[in-house]
Amino acid sequence: MNNFKPIARLKLPRPFYQRPTLEVAPDLVGKILVRKNRGVLTVGRIVEVEAYRNSDDPASHAYRGVTPRNRLMFGEGGVLYVYFIYGMYFCANVVTDKNGVAGAVLIRAVEPVEGIEGMRRRRKTRSDDNLTNGPGKVCTALAIDRRLNGADLQGESIYLADDGERMRVGISERIGIRSGKEKRWRFFAAGNKFVSRIRFNR
């Protein structure tokens, strides 16, 4: 006998995503983000997200209706929406809700779990606290770029999983937006040191 117990990572099923965005978003805190790139595995645990919706949400890309960039937000939940911003960064979102209802959840921070050396190399830093504590940093560390826009989260190159971990979820206003600030649609792992703004993680 030994005490070794393999950690089961159950890929989140399609119906998980096809619920209202504000139900999905807090449920993503504590889930595992798996990235498989050329056979190399990089894994993080989601510790911070933000919800974005549709015409009721001026901060959302979907606020003014369908455009070539945001069209995935209006589609069926369960795919990745990746966009390019500030001329140098990517942001990764999980598309939520049913077909015809816009919604997505921005992955703002993860806690490094596997493939940390690769994360350090891509991020060009040795400070692990600074590796994945921001939406642009997450994409750099996990090698997420526009090629993954529209990727099916039931596939192998990128997906989310549940390993049974449960974290206390804090709630706050969203970060880095001008309008829609009153909406408290940011969800994070309370007290976790990999949350992007450490002073606002309680």
| Residue 182 in the binding site for DNA (CB under 7 A) | no
Q: Which of 25, 32, 104, 148 binds DNA (CB under 7 A)?
A: 104
| Residue 172 in the binding site for DNA (CB under 7 A) | no
| Residue 86 in the binding site for DNA (CB under 7 A) | yes
| Residue 200 in the binding site for DNA (CB under 7 A) | no
Closer residue to DNA (CB): 145 or 163? 145
Q: Where are the beta strands (DSSP E) in 104-175?
A: 104-114, 158-162, 169-172
Residue 90 burial (CB count, 10 A) = 19
Closer residue to DNA (CB): 2 or 99? 99
Cβ atoms of residues 29 and 185 within 8 Å: no
In the stretch 119-158, what mask flags binding to DNA with x, by CB under 7 A? ----x-x----x---xxxxx--------------------
Cβ atoms of residues 48 and 189 within 8 Å: yes
Closer residue to DNA (CB): 38 or 124? 124
Determine the Cα–Cα distance for residues 67 and 82; give it in Å rounded to an integer: 14
Determine the Cα–Cα distance for residues 134 and 131; give it in Å rounded to an integer: 8
Residue 184: half-sphere exposure toward Cβ, Cα within 13 Å = 6
- Residues in touch with DNA (CB under 7 A): 50, 52, 59-62, 64, 67-70, 73, 81, 83-89, 91, 93, 104, 106, 123, 125, 130, 134-138, 174-178, 196
